[in-house]
Structure 1
Amino acid sequence: MSNIFTIAVLPGDGIGPEVMKQTIKILEKIEKYLNTKIIINEYAVGGIAINKYGNPLPKKTLHGCENSNAILFGSVGGPEWDHLSLNKRPEKGALLKLRKHFNLFANIRPTFFYKNLNSLSPIKEKILNKGFDIICIRELTGGIYFGLPNGRKGKGINEYAFDTEIYSRLEIERIAYIAFNIALKRKKKICSVDKANVLNTSILWREVIVNISKQYPSVKLEHMYIDNIVMQLMKKPSQFDIILCPNLFGDIISDQCAMITGSVGNLPSASFNQNFFGLYEPAGGSAPDIAGKNIANPIAQILSLSMLLEYSLKDKYSSQKIKNAIKKTLDLGYRTKDLLTNSINEKIVTTDDMGTLIMESII
């Protein structure tokens, strides 16, 4: 790793700028532990870029990302831009375009929970007590979101819409290698999700995954249909370690994993290409309804920075310092509004306060 590491910071819309501000505060504190000089360049993206430049992903922003070692992304979108066509909206015109441009085909989303927040989870306490630490690995650039043809035709009662699910062997192989290599560093266990009893793409998916698994004899591989795993996640999440999913199923599963923790505001994610160039972002959205109120939870954005340190800078030590600081802050009872559990020991804090408390807990 070079002694200089450049991060393109894209705060975006809604609560994005607020939580990103806290994350930069953490980065400035943690930088003294790094062996690398960090250069931060901030760029407009999403709705704010539409308002300023007429484009959700301006050329300046894209070029800035191209000349960076990693992207730290906030959130984009909101009702202000919902009247635009899909391709011009912040979500597809910025985030999906970035994923496609950099060929970010692998999304990694960890799911875990803090025991002092277990009352926020919809899962029964006796299930939560067994604990869970899951990584959902989702293929990002193939599948039904990008298959052609798609569209709408006809008029009146005969109008219809259609999307095409397509997966190539190459697309499946490369996400499989990501999953199996991560599995080697964890519990050496993968659950692959498909619908091979119905879909041809799932039949190919399973065949390719099985074939790749032969190169990793120490990793235990199992398969589950999408309808079964959504039930199993509610019944016994502790049985899973790595869940490997096609694009659409991964979209569903990763959000379900987030919900069983009780708060999507605590979970980060990362998207990689073949060279492990990464885009790091919180799992939640832009939450325009609470934007500007200084009540948003910055933990997911801060943990996205932690993932950046671990995966892009290969610095688990500094990454763990951030995680430890967050745990310590929560253990002391500090909560943003979304994390309140009605415990008498809780102290409600603002977005700014939470960022400062976490920063001060980094030692």
Structure 2
Amino acid sequence: MKTYNVCVIKGDGIGPEIVEEAVKVLDSVSHKFGFELNFDYHLMGGCAVDIFGVPLPDETLNAAKASDAVLFGAIGGAKWDNLARHLRPESGLLKLRKELGAFANLRPAIIFDELINASTLKPETVRGVDILVVRELTGGIYFGQPREKHEKSAFNTMVYSYEEIERVSKIAFEAAMKRGKKITLVDKANVLETSQLWREVVAEVAKSYPEVAVEQMYVDNAAMQLVRDPKQFDVLLTENLFGDILSDEASMICGSIGLLPSASIGGKVGIYEPIHGSAPDIAGQGIANPIATIMSAAMMLRYAFNEAEAAQCIENAVKSVLRDGYRTKDIAKFDAKEICSTSEIGSIISDYTHKF
């Protein structure tokens, strides 16, 4: 029996609740498809700061490096907002991504037909939306040096190398080859030298993928076009800051940030997490939507373990559960047959995996 080692980091806020449901579903499909998952639990984020004094303890980092994949919930909360930057929960996640070499963030934005009315856009605008945002994750302004904050001024530095752009671009082109064979490079090349370099590198990489159509779009226009006509996009390729913003915008086109997963890959070990935050205001109430985390677990099976059938089983189960009218509170007003708690919807999805 094949065995995979998963470093599980629940995090803060609703993180523990939603991760438990993903583990529940993973247990179900692993038994069904004949492989074993070893779950190794560790702390990161505000909970780690409270216990260890740092957001990413060495024990957690070493466990992540030794694993086959990291399943992660969410971190942060107002409790830790006033800490020094290097002690904030988010600094732990940034360090983890950097240390694992997870330089490419894949964020699908797919509209579920069953929730088409959840989008604030017209159904005819969003029906059939299937976008993959490929965001560079370990470079750019979030990591650029120097950086300083003074009493009346502050600055950050945006830096990209040829190699950083090239490697994430290759992942985007490979993804496009399996999809609609179209890439939109989102940048600000009219004012940023880093964006000019992005255009040059992507043009060079594109020579190896003649079947893929490439277009360039300024980020302000891309933000507008995502709302105006999202179906025009297939793969969106962009740098760290722009990708952070656009992927959240794309998620809301689909109706709820609680539905969409992500995979951060490129190094030996990938990180699989929902795109939403820790939502401390609803933590412990049993109303958080675990579907994004469950779908992230499916991405883990596909990308980290090459268990495509098991991944598809989870995705089919989620779609069927939504089709049959089961909803969490955040999406309850959209054709709900039954309003479910976090644990209940996780159990229903787990049960549905036996149908596929």
TM-score range, shorter chain: over 0.9
Corresponding residue number in structure 2 for 1:312? 304
Corresponding residue number in structure 2 for 1:8? 7
Corresponding residue number in structure 1 for 2:148? 151
Alignment-mate amino acid for residue 205 of structure 1: W
8 Å Cα contact 1:117/1:341 also seen in 2: no
Percent identity (aligned):
47
Q: Establish whether residue 196 from structure 1 lines up as the match of residue 189 from structure 2.
A: yes
8 Å Cα contact 1:12/1:47 also seen in 2: yes
In the superposition, relative to structure 1, how do residues 180 and 123 fare at CA in structure 2: closer, same or farther (>3 Å)?
Answer: same
Q: Establish whether residue 324 from structure 1 lines up as the match of residue 324 from structure 2.
A: no
Corresponding residue number in structure 1 for 2:31? 32
Structure 2 unaligned spans of 5+: none
Corresponding residue number in structure 1 for 2:282? 290
Aligned ranges for residues 240-255 of structure 1 at < 5 Å? 240-255=233-248
Normalised by the size of structure 1, how large is the TM-score? Answer: 0.95
Aligned ranges for residues 214-363 of structure 1 at < 5 Å? 214-275=207-268, 277-341=269-333, 343=335, 345-363=336-354
8 Å Cα contact 2:126/2:253 also seen in 1: no
8 Å Cα contact 2:147/2:155 also seen in 1: yes
Aligned to 2:353, the other structure's residue is in SS state coil
Deviations 1:21-59 (A, max 9, x none): 111111111112334321111111111111122221112
Aligned to 1:362, the other structure's residue is in SS state helix
Alignment-mate amino acid for residue 288 of structure 1: P
Paired residue for 2:126, among 111, 125, 128? Answer: 128
Find the aligned partners of 1:204 and 1:55 in 2 and give their Cα distance: 36
Normalised by the size of structure 2, how large is the TM-score? Answer: 0.97
8 Å Cα contact 2:107/2:133 also seen in 1: yes
8 Å Cα contact 1:104/1:278 also seen in 2: yes
Shift of 1:278: 0.7
Alignment-mate amino acid for residue 184 of structure 1: M
Shift of 1:353: 0.5
Q: Please, what is the CA RMSD of the aligned residues?
A: 1.3
8 Å Cα contact 1:141/1:247 also seen in 2: yes
Shift of 1:279: 0.3
Aligned to 1:7, the other structure's residue is in SS state strand
Find the aligned partners of 2:308 and 2:289 in 1 and give their Cα distance: 24
Corresponding residue number in structure 1 for 2:93? 95
Structure 1 unaligned spans of 5+: none
Alignment-mate amino acid for residue 107 of structure 1: N
Deviations 1:91-142 (A, max 9, x none): 11x111101111211000000011121222111122123x111100000111
Alignment-mate amino acid for residue 17 of structure 1: P
8 Å Cα contact 1:81/1:89 also seen in 2: yes
Find the aligned partners of 1:43 and 1:152 in 2 and give their Cα distance: 33
In the superposition, relative to structure 1, how do residues 184 and 283 fare at CA in structure 2: closer, same or farther (>3 Å)?
Answer: same
8 Å Cα contact 2:187/2:218 also seen in 1: yes
Corresponding residue number in structure 1 for 2:46? 47
8 Å Cα contact 2:118/2:334 also seen in 1: no
Structure 1 outlier segments of 4+, above 6 Å: none
Shift of 1:222: 0.7
Corresponding residue number in structure 2 for 1:162? 155
